[in-house]
Amino acid sequence: MFVVSSEDMKQIDKRAIEKYKIPGIILMENAAFAVLEEIEKLKPRNVTIVCGIGNNGGDGFALARLLLNKNYEVDVFCFPDKTKVKGDAKVNLDILINMGLEIKSDLEKLREKVKSSDLVVDAVLGTGISGEVRDDIKKVIDVINDANKILSVDIPSGISSDDGKCLGKCVFADITVTFECLKFGHILGEGREASGKVLVKKIGIPKECIKEQNIKTLTNDDGYPMYLIKRRRIDTNKGNYGKVFIIGGNYKMSGAVILALKSALRSGAGLVYGVFPRSIMDRVGALVPEAVYIPCDEKNGYIFIDEANLNIILDKADAIAFGVGLGNYDELFVTLKEILKRYDKNLVIDADGINILSKDVSILKNSKANVLLTPHPAEMARLTGLCVEFINKNRVEVAKKFAKEYRCIVLLKGASTVVTDGENVYINTTGNPGMATAGSGDVLTGLIVSLLGQGYNLFDSAVLGAYIHGLAGDKAYETYGYGLVAHDILNNFGFFIR
Ligand SMILES: NC(=O)C1=CN([C@@H]2O[C@H](COP(=O)(O)OP(=O)(O)OC[C@H]3O[C@@H](n4cnc5c(N)ncnc54)[C@H](OP(=O)(O)O)[C@@H]3O)[C@@H](O)[C@H]2O)[C@@H](O)CC1
Ligand SMILES: Nc1ncnc2c1ncn2[C@@H]1O[C@H](COP(=O)(O)OP(=O)(O)O)[C@@H](O)[C@H]1O
Ligand SMILES: [K+]
């Protein structure tokens, strides 16, 4: 499913109205019907609709008429002042007035009504919000938030459609009914929580209008990305599903590489090789008997990959993951540099691999390998010098800029993981806060490198990885709640891939 900004949506609406000659008032009517359909499922006895003075409010006025015609008890408020309503919204406002309905603008009356209403509809601000919410509207939002149940029209008032930022104050909806496309604000930042359950409804915009906008951002829905998964031919063997190499582990940390190896096996890689320091061989061998091992020399407990082993890796690997539990040791920078210089297939750099890379990110620019970086926000901060708070508030832009500048693919982890090659963007919405647990990232790396080995390209592997990892985490959450551990996630991979 496409994800659009407010400007994209404005252009799509404009194209529908000016080029394809659909009158805006028809779109408004269809939007109102789309909201009506959801309200009827909720079976409220009485509904309070709070409208602004723009077209979002216009949707609210049209909805009020549809509900009144169906004999619902309806109260309509307009803030700051109904005399400022214009255009299509005014047409719908005037119809209500002609029907004899009183449109109130009294905050105290709204406060009373909100308490006794089964449902409050928030049609104050939509995609047309600009700047911080003005003080008078902040008060209205506070009152709306006291409601028993809230349905927001298009987007919760106060949330920016472009990045999900709360612009000073926002409605926290139970349900949001939006039109034609998802907006960034529904799945990023505070907007994700504020939107509640989001329903995307068609309102009659010709599909060409969306196509012509050339949208580059997708999220999981309509079968994407799972339809990328290829069925296996019957007459195949392990050689068809990749030799994947996972380079990781140090004397203090064997768990990360063990989890990544198990994860690669559980997600279907043909042959999984573990490259780790010799001192953890017994543990890895005991816990992952299905893997092949390349135990390496050690320097101060950290891995030292000599030329002979490096040649084996570079020669054999269909895909490499570098970094899980590796430790950040100066000489490993030299190893990473060599791999980037000599390896010409797909390379995932994760965890300590990213910390090692942060010493001099410019080595990416001369890379022969196709690189995917999978940082969490703190690792992204090390790569870019930006602070974590800024990164989290600007996830898409930060990841895009980095991917473009260093010609790699970035998978920026966290709630709403972002995958981008600098132009195309995927925003993932599977997963849950139970996955904020040690080792959860290591199993993602194992999953992605496994997909690469099986022949998916770098972008698709990252997208599928983020999606399946989140789904598997959601299934684990059903059983273990916040007590879920990384093993529970990887044990579900096979289920979803099947
Ligand atoms: N176009 C179409 O075809 C269709 C559009 N549709 C609907 O239209 C919505 C977009 O409508 P829109 O563009 O009129 O903007 P909208 O969200 O109502 O907000 C503008 C109003 O808010 C005010 N305001 C702004 N910033 C503010 C702030 N910080 N703090 C306080 N107030 C602020 C601003 O006031 P002003 O600054 O002008 O005084 C202005 O009055 C869209 O979300 C969807 O629901 C559907 O009907 C389907 C067809
Ligand atoms: N709130 C959340 N919602 C969805 N996914 C999450 C959430 N918190 C963490 N995750 C996912 O869990 C993984 C954590 O990775 P990471 O921080 O690298 O863990 P570790 O380094 O311990 O392995 C990432 O894939 C991240 O997207
Ligand atoms: K709204």
Domains of the chain: 3-213 (3.40.50.10260), 226-497 (3.40.1190.20)
| 403 contacts 409 by C-beta, under 8 angstroms | yes
56 C-beta closer than 6 A to ligand 1: yes
Q: Which two tokens stand for residue 462?
A: 């990252």
Residue 144: its pLDDT value, please? 98
In the sheet with 346-349, reading across from the earlier edge strand, the strands are: 217-219, 425-427, 418-420, 409-412, 370-373, 346-349, 319-322, 243-247, 271-277, 292-299, 302-304
Band of residue 300 on the pLDDT scale cut at 50, 70, 90: confident
What's at 231, amino acid-wise? R
Handedness of CA 411, 198, 33, 145 (dihedral sign): negative
Give the whole-number percent of the chain exceeding pLDDT 70.
100
| 461 contacts 415 by C-beta, under 8 angstroms | no
How far is CA 325 from its chain centroid? 26
Q: Look at ligand 1, atom 1, and give the residue with the nearest C-alpha.
A: 13
CA distances from 40 to 56, 71, 113, 145 (A): 20, 12, 20, 21
CA distance 190 to 476: 25
| 272 contacts 454 by C-beta, under 8 angstroms | no
Rounded (10°) angle between helices 440-453 and 458-480 = 140
Residue 101: its pLDDT value, please? 97
Q: Look at ligand 1, atom 41, and give the residue with the nearest C-alpha.
A: 54
Q: Among 190, 254, 261, 376, name the best residue to mutate to test ligand 2's pocket (greatest count of ligand atoms within 8 A of Cβ).
A: 376
For the CA of 52, the nearest ligand = 1
CA distances from 166 to 131, 175, 180, 186 (A): 10, 17, 22, 11
Residue 261 CB partners (closer than 8 Å, separation 6+):
246, 272, 274, 284, 288, 291, 446
133 C-beta closer than 6 A to ligand 1: yes
How far is CA 42 from its chain centroid? 28
For the CA of 490, the nearest ligand = 2
CA 21 / ligand 2 centre spacing (Å): 47
Band of residue 82 on the pLDDT scale cut at 50, 70, 90: very high
For the CA of 379, the nearest ligand = 2
**What is the number of H-type helices and E-type strands within the chain?**
21, 20
Q: Which two tokens stand for residue 408?
A: 């790699």
- Secondary structure element (H or E) that encloses residue 119, with its range: strand 119-123
Residue 243: its pLDDT value, please? 97
- pTM, rounded to two decimals: 0.95
Give the whole-number percent of the chain exceeding pLDDT 90.
97
| ipTM topping 0.85 | yes
Closest CA to 313 of 334, 288, 296: 296
CA distances from 112 to 73, 144, 466 (A): 15, 11, 45
What string of H, E and C letters represents the secondary structure of 400-413?
A: HHHHHHCCCEEEEC
60 C-beta closer than 6 A to ligand 1: no
| 359 contacts 333 by C-beta, under 8 angstroms | yes
CA 434 / ligand 2 centre spacing (Å): 9
CA distance 314 to 324: 18
CA 103 / ligand 3 centre spacing (Å): 18
The 3-state DSSP class for residue 492 equals: coil
With a cut of 90, say whether residue 435 has pLDDT above it.
yes
Pocket of ligand 2 (CB under 6 A): 351, 376, 413-415, 417, 431-433, 435-436, 438-442, 444, 469-470
The 10s digit of each residue's pLDDT in 145-197 is 999 999 999 999 999 999 999 999 999 999 999 999 999 999 999 999 999 99
54 C-beta closer than 6 A to ligand 1: yes
| 246 contacts 324 by C-beta, under 8 angstroms | yes
The 10s digit of each residue's pLDDT in 19-29 is 999 999 999 99
Q: Among 27, 127, 157, name the best residue to mutate to test ligand 1's pocket (greatest count of ligand atoms within 8 A of Cβ).
A: 127
CA 174 / ligand 1 centre spacing (Å): 21
CA 34 / ligand 2 centre spacing (Å): 35
For the CA of 156, the nearest ligand = 3
| 46 contacts 73 by C-beta, under 8 angstroms | yes
DSSP states of 371-382 as a string? Answer: EEE---HHHHHH
DSSP states of 405-445 as a string? Answer: HTTSEEEE-SSS-EEESSS-EEE-----GGG-STTHHHHHH
Rounded (10°) angle between helices 135-144 and 107-116 = 20
The 10s digit of each residue's pLDDT in 200-222 is 999 999 999 999 999 999 999 98
The 3-state DSSP class for residue 201 equals: strand
| 206 contacts 185 by C-beta, under 8 angstroms | no
The DSSP bridge partners found for residue 199 are: 177
| 265 contacts 291 by C-beta, under 8 angstroms | yes
CA 123 / ligand 2 centre spacing (Å): 35
Q: Among 383, 392, 419, 440, name the best residue to mutate to test ligand 2's pocket (greatest count of ligand atoms within 8 A of Cβ).
A: 440
- The mean predicted confidence, pLDDT, of the chain is 97
CA 211 / ligand 1 centre spacing (Å): 24
Mean local confidence (pLDDT), 472-485: 97
CA 56 / ligand 3 centre spacing (Å): 6
The 3-state DSSP class for residue 179 equals: strand
Closest CA to 31 of 165, 157, 121, 106: 121
- Integer Rg of the chain from CA: 26
Q: Which two tokens stand for residue 331?
A: 């000489």
The 10s digit of each residue's pLDDT in 228-286 is 999 999 999 999 999 999 999 998 889 999 999 999 999 999 999 999 999 999 999 99
Residue 80: its pLDDT value, please? 96
494 C-beta closer than 6 A to ligand 1: no
Residue 293: its pLDDT value, please? 97
With a cut of 90, say whether residue 329 has pLDDT above it.
no
Mean local confidence (pLDDT), 58-85: 97
Residue 125: its pLDDT value, please? 98
24 C-beta closer than 6 A to ligand 1: yes
The DSSP code for 73 is: E
With a cut of 90, say whether residue 301 has pLDDT above it.
no
Give the CA diameter of the chain.
87
CA distance 74 to 459: 49
Binding residue numbers for AMP: 413-417, 441
